[in-house]
Structure 1
């Protein structure tokens, strides 16, 4: 019997929902959090991997104006179905989302069930069928000027967008979506994390504290 077979003796995974606006530092938080666990103890499902593909049906100019920050852009049924499969201890296979990069070859992601299941994404509290599955909700936020600075750095340096493109999306897509689909759920979250600092030690110590508490409850 493998180590993974042994770990499947748990009854139901403890499900953590993590959501934060663009530039909140959610990716760094997740990276730090996951380092406290082995692959057999935790698995992660990301909403980003469930966008309906548009690269084949739109021009580059159309994609620039396309609003990815609304719930209708997500294959909600597939997202929920895969979470349900993991709860039922089934392994899922999912094509990686490549952010409509025509030159990227998507990998096939294999996600195995684990006693801690992490679900992350902008709309996970808004999607009621997913929200009701969550045992712990973590809301990550940053001041708007901090979040915008991080978004600009990422999109200009890593994705090659122009400054005007980034600002258009920020003002017309990102901020309205955050205010409508995420911020209203802040008060129902058990953990609210303000991440304005660039000091890694703060996030590392916080994820260590949460992981220790989880280890005592779940593992």
Structure 2
């Protein structure tokens, strides 16, 4: 009887791609398709390093597209806790202060966890925790246009600052660290959130896994 009552291990889906690729749209589209199930989205950006001991000038100079900008050890630890059906206190990142907030968010384990971020396939420890790995592959021209619109409208950045950051760090880091992780993906989704066929197939696959593991879908 006890074995039957044991809670099933969550399914972890990793969704990655370059900045502006549409990975967030894909993650939320899968979330919407599985509405009614126990599901949670976790964003890698939440796990940027705590930089409270740095000056504001030092914080702004950090390369936020480099793997070392993230507290990956904490992300691995908390994802593993969720995998073992343990609740976590997820960090909160303050974009205005370029460092971690003092607040945390209490997150209960769910049947499906979607991990979304630019470098989630770069670290083997994270890859080993995922059941499905997705790479959203979008043309670079479209990615920079989306990034310009997002950063200017949502983050108050100037056009020059967005372009300068893209040329200095975003583009070279994409080619050095993000694009090479495409080889680890189980599924490559062209054109991000516009690819409804791929999103439908992913949602169907997740439902199938849930059913096989005894989840009610």
The TM-score, its normalising length taken from structure 1, stands at 0.83
* Structure 1 contact 46–119 (Cα < 8 Å) conserved: yes
Q: Work out the CA distance in 2 between the residues paired with 1:119 and 1:72.
A: 18
Per the alignment, residue 12 of structure 1 pairs with 9
Shift of 1:217: 2.1
The TM-score, its normalising length taken from structure 2, stands at 0.84
Per the alignment, residue 209 of structure 2 pairs with 217
State whether structure 2 residue 64 is matched by structure 1 residue 68.
Answer: yes
SS in structure 2 opposite 1:84?
helix
SS in structure 2 opposite 1:208?
helix
Per the alignment, residue 173 of structure 1 pairs with 169
Which 4+ residue blocks in structure 1 deviate beyond 4 angstroms?
Answer: 104-107
* Structure 1 contact 55–100 (Cα < 8 Å) conserved: no
Shift of 1:79: 0.8
* Structure 1 contact 50–74 (Cα < 8 Å) conserved: yes
Residues 44-55 of structure 1 aligned to structure 2 (within 5 Å): 44-54=41-51
Shift of 1:182: 1.6
Residues 56-95 of structure 1 aligned to structure 2 (within 5 Å): 57-59=54-56, 61-95=57-91
Per the alignment, residue 3 of structure 1 pairs with none
State whether structure 2 residue 45 is matched by structure 1 residue 29.
Answer: no
* Structure 1 contact 85–92 (Cα < 8 Å) conserved: yes
Per the alignment, residue 155 of structure 1 pairs with 151
Q: Deviations over 1:98-140 (max 9, x none)?
A: 21348x9776322221222222222211111111222211001
* Structure 2 contact 134–186 (Cα < 8 Å) conserved: yes
For the aligned residue pairs, the C-alpha RMSD in angstroms reads: 2.4
Shift of 1:43: 2.0
Q: Work out the CA distance in 1 between the residues paired with 2:182 and 2:123.
A: 14
* Structure 1 contact 156–163 (Cα < 8 Å) conserved: yes
* Structure 2 contact 80–129 (Cα < 8 Å) conserved: no
How many residues in Structure 1 have an aligned counterpart in Structure 2?
206
Q: Work out the CA distance in 2 between the residues paired with 1:112 and 1:132.
A: 21
* Structure 1 contact 20–139 (Cα < 8 Å) conserved: yes
Q: Work out the CA distance in 1 between the residues paired with 2:64 and 2:183.
A: 25
Shift of 1:39: 6.7
For structure 2, the 5+ residue unaligned runs are 212-217
